[in-house]
Amino acid sequence: MDSLWIYVDHPMSQILIVGGVAGGMSAATRLRRLDADANIIVLEKSGHVSYANCGLPYYVGGVIEEESDLLLQTPESLHARFRLDVRIANEVLSIDRANKKVQVRNLTTQEEYFLSYDKLVLSPGASPIVPPIPGVERAMTLRTVEDVEKIVSYVDRKPSTAVVIGGGFIGVEIAENLIHRGIQVQVVEAADQLLAPLDPEMATYVSTEMLRHGVQLHLSAGAAKIGPNSVTLANGKEIPAELVILAIGVKPDVSLAQAAGIEIGSRKGIKVDEFNRTSDLDIYAIGDAAEKTDALDGSSTLVPLANIANRQGRVVADHINGRPIRLVPTIGTAIVKVFDLMIATTGWNEKRLLSAGRPHVSIHTHPNSHAGYYPDAKQMTLKLIFDPTTGEILGAQGVGVEGVDKRIDVIATAIRGEITAPELADLELAYAPPFGSAKDPVNMLGYIAENVISGLVQTVQWNEIDTFKSKGFSLIDVRTASEFALGSIPGAINIPVDEIRERSKEITEKDLLINCQVGQRGHTATLLLKELGFNAANLDGGYLTWSHSPAFNEN
């Protein structure tokens, strides 16, 4: 079919936006608020331009009952309020940068036409990663409303088994929601843990929670073949699968930009400057397709999060209209629900810091979500990672039933405000027994960090126990005898903290590694033993951290 040239000589500027959802629609609506006359056209190849894609797994599980609840805006509502020209089922085929126009295909009529632009905003998002394995065409992905409609249609036929390939955020969310629909679910993950942003001793909480709710896990086991009713793993094991969902991850959709000769960055996303301009200064890129700048080291990174896409859309609109821009790199704050747990992260994890050779110290705590004497307090696990010299906060992770979200949010805000780890102790946070403690868990992280940086106490990590034992350190467990009887680290000697003074003569070695349940009593015992002339170090996070680590399974 011959291409149709459509051109209207607008006296005002014409801005084209390729792709809607978070970034594209944020740019479009902000542009309209700043300029009542600009001709703004949004071109979206799917059938929906504004929807809550983070809510898609919960529609599969029936938690969100109506599909309409996922649809935030329609072309009609956007035109009524903002006078936006929103064209769904219209795919941009190519960009003619020299003549500043794009070629578009109407996917309903198959007609093709051209549109000129003064400024072009690329917000094509990301595409699901689809591995080249036999039978992969039978698997479904979960990225768009059309994807979720297909999955729900299949789930409504009541399959008995499902395999989710991929144990990232989307993988664990869709696994949970398939369980809600009464389906037997198995998760296949090539790595040795779920949720890669977590460190291994934190990820075990997620595995335990999923197993507790009936999800079978296959870790360190990639999928090699998808059959008519099964999935065959790389180790040769065959598992039943009437339904197969791919949740391996996403990759930036750069095909349109790449074909137009726009520069692609080191992370295979569209390279942009601080104003989200591409190598063509009249073309911007935002959202999952665009590379971001990492706050910790300034490197290029890919962070497919809706809040970042929304902010980038606003940045672009402001820049086009000559407004000042605040330059904000990303720290990658994210949260996910897994059955009864909330899991949140911000900044770098320890795995990445070790790989980069960046000096760091980690501390673990297991505080209650609110005052322990107030009913229904829930224990959580927090991990804080910081620079051992400057106290700069490098990252944090949290897992728990309640209260994790606000603690990670506070730490993420501290990172943005360049508050150091010891200074967390100084934060004046809202306190009443139903909501927190007089020493909030975030404050306690600050106190511990201050003790570590000042050299008041030496802490040892769960994966360093064998190293210290090989150096001649004796392991002293200062919990009560009843706690010790329920489980202990191999080789530990039990001397309760309240008996340390009276029984110190029983300790024959000078070098001691102290542990309690969560680290607090161990800290007290360590300082006391140092006063008594011993060389004592405290096991960070205590027995509880160790018992959720890979080291526990090795024993």
- Residue 108 and residue 89: Cα distance in Å, rounded? 7
Q: What is the DSSP track for 208-265?
A: HHHHHTT-EEEET--EEEE-SSEEEETTS-EEE-SEEEE-S-EEE--HHHHHTTPPB-
With b for 16 or more beta-carbon neighbours within 10 A and e for fewer, the 261-270 pattern comes to ebebbeeebb
Residues ≥6 apart with Cβ < 8 Å to 247: 128, 141, 142, 164, 165, 166, 167, 168, 170, 171, 174
| Rg of the chain in Å (alpha carbons) | 27
* Neighbour count for residue 340 (Cβ, 10 Å): 12
Residues ≥6 apart with Cβ < 8 Å to 33: 82
The kind and range of the H/E element at 525 are: helix 520-531
Q: Which amino acid is at 247?
A: A
- In which residue are the tokens 């300790």 written? 507
Q: Is residue 11 packed enough to be buried (19+ CB in 10 Å), middle (13-18) or exposed (0-12)? A: exposed
Q: Which amino acid is at 373?
A: Y
N- to C-terminal Cα distance for the chain?
Answer: 69
- Residue 83 and residue 373: Cα distance in Å, rounded? 56
- Residue 56 and residue 69: Cα distance in Å, rounded? 10
- Residue 445 and residue 439: Cα distance in Å, rounded? 10
Residues ≥6 apart with Cβ < 8 Å to 307: none
DSSP 69: G
- Residue 347 and residue 364: Cα distance in Å, rounded? 16
DSSP 402: S
Determine which one of 34, 54, 133, 190 is catalytic.
Answer: 54
The kind and range of the H/E element at 131 are: none
**Geometric angle at alpha carbon 252, from 247 and 258, rounded to 5°:** 145
Is residue 54 annotated as a catalytic residue, yes or no?
yes
Phi, psi for 284 (deg, rounded to 5): -110, 160
**Geometric angle at alpha carbon 391, from 386 and 395, rounded to 5°:** 25
CA dihedral 126, 129, 135, 141 (to 10 degrees): -50
**Geometric angle at alpha carbon 342, from 340 and 348, rounded to 5°:** 155
The set of catalytic residues is 54
